[in-house]
Structure 1
């Protein structure tokens, strides 16, 4: 038992039940997911950091969300793609614990950033005259810094709790190391530890979700009272798209935690698919839903395209460049 518990290297299985003929499509899909997240979040980070007129509270929050999502995908996706492409699924025990820390640290951070975005929209729509005094850059940066610190403590706590367990199995039946994935390899009974982490997870997920749903409920009530149907439809569409991403992030996570706590038997591949779905799809959708659809970002993107076209073709009149960019 002592020899088996001294495991220094683990193996990521990805989707453990699929045949080899599906390895290439799965790996290509995961690679494209990473490229999409890398490009979209990278564009958001570049646009916001390189333009001072975007130094506004809402864009500061979006910038933090994009950094978090990009870090998460960079820490998790390249390793599982390497497993399918180069048959290199091995990961050190320390590296696995780092993925556990990152998953719960950055996942919790996303929860609180989505909460902050909902609060920002609530104040902007329901208390527009008081918005500058309630929401400003300095206060937003301080809150974001607090969330980085607070959620890192959550990640460290879960990683330290997992590190105290002896492991008897090396195969992690997932695309990256999670708390449930590591605890399933433990030699001893970890029921009490799972219950403790379940309570932490519910506090991290349910509290922000309750406040987010409350704020959007108030926003929808305000939208209903608007007299102009055009503004009403536009606001409904915005709320619906944002709520869809929020539900995609929170509801599957809560379902998986509750299912593990109740010991509901799920197909391993279905479980991994749900994990990938609620983890990586929001990371691709967030830049589009929260940032690239806004007028300021589109205007900034158009101006960058104009500059690029003028640099490549200095003989083209600026008027023609501006006219052509209006169709983007």
Structure 2
């Protein structure tokens, strides 16, 4: 037992969707299983390609590779347990495991925001300052920035998790969510957790709202820059690219900021809707981002085509 003088809870039970009828458990578990597999293989393909193909060792792909690793870790640390909960009825996590999961949820969630922001910076320089791009953005610089983001996001994860660790827990241990995060765990405390949740809200808003604001600003400049060139073809291509990028960015940030605000002012009474929005901004970007940011690019498609062709030839002989 952790901190026996403060907490008597030995484990937490993930409830997932509290109001979901049992007849839909199999459907939900299969949906999570499919989401996990799509995310796993899509991100794994991206990571393997970037590691093995030297011509893909470029700043933009280094950024995408970091995002893919982050999403792989997040999904592997969260989805198997909620799948087991709905598939086998095994939704229990030990006290320690719950807080370890909480750390990685807030750690990797924050990391994604900063990596996507770095991606926006890369696109801004590539489009708005193309002649200076290679002198400004290098693989070494991008690798250093990504390392700093991994360390900084870890500090954010530790700070948020510590807000939950200081709370005592006795009796109630049913977490109304698909994984352990600060708010659904903190509300189970035997003392008023409003202060901890409020502090977590401030940290989360700073961690996500600042990158989101910068991303919005950079894409506005990118579109304005391309539009001012007066080239219809370039304008259409940039608009299409920005639209697809915004699909992922919107899925990640808008439901997230909505849920964070809801948890403070309680505008949405439906707990199941709250859990659905959490799953939407958490898992949907993980399997759409490698497809939109990487696998749909011409360079990656050509590389995949060569790999599959090589595999086919080897199998033939």
Deviations 1:49-76 (A, max 9, x none): 1111111100000000000001000000
Of 159, 168, 172, which residue of structure 2 is paired with 1:166?
A: 168
Q: How far did residue 227 of structure 1 move?
A: 3.1
Q: Distance in 2 between matches of 1:126 and 1:208?
A: 19
TM-score by length of 2: 0.96
Counterpart position of 2:118 = 116
Counterpart position of 1:32 = 34
Q: Please state if 1:276 is matched with 2:299.
A: no
Counterpart position of 2:264 = 261
Counterpart position of 1:103 = 105
Q: How far did residue 262 of structure 1 move?
A: 1.3
Q: Distance in 2 between matches of 1:228 and 1:133?
A: 26
Deviations 1:182-206 (A, max 9, x none): 1111111111111111111111011
Q: Please state if 1:243 is matched with 2:232.
A: no
Q: Distance in 2 between matches of 1:182 and 1:117?
A: 33
Matched residue of 1:5: which SS? coil
Counterpart position of 2:197 = 194
> What does residue range 132-171 of structure 1 map to in structure 2 within 5 Å?
132-168=134-170, 169-171=172-174
The answer to whether the 8 Å contact 2:18/2:271 transfers is yes
Q: Distance in 2 between matches of 1:266 and 1:120?
A: 40
Q: How far did residue 131 of structure 1 move?
A: 0.7
Of 285, 290, 309, which residue of structure 2 is paired with 1:306?
A: 309
Q: Please state if 1:67 is matched with 2:96.
A: no
Q: How far did residue 273 of structure 1 move?
A: 0.6
Of 68, 89, 92, which residue of structure 2 is paired with 1:90?
A: 92
User: For structure 2, which runs of at least 5 residues remain unmatched after alignment?
Assistant: none
Q: Distance in 2 between matches of 1:219 and 1:4?
A: 53
Q: CA RMSD in A?
A: 1.3
Q: How far did residue 309 of structure 1 move?
A: 1.3
Counterpart position of 2:9 = 7
Matched residue of 1:180: which SS? helix
Q: Distance in 1 between matches of 2:5 and 2:11?
A: 13
Counterpart position of 2:213 = 210
Deviations 1:77-115 (A, max 9, x none): 000111111111111011110111011000000000000
User: For structure 1, which runs of at least 5 residues remain unmatched after alignment?
Assistant: 315-328
Q: Which structure has the bigger radius of gyration?
A: 1
Q: How far did residue 37 of structure 1 move?
A: 0.3
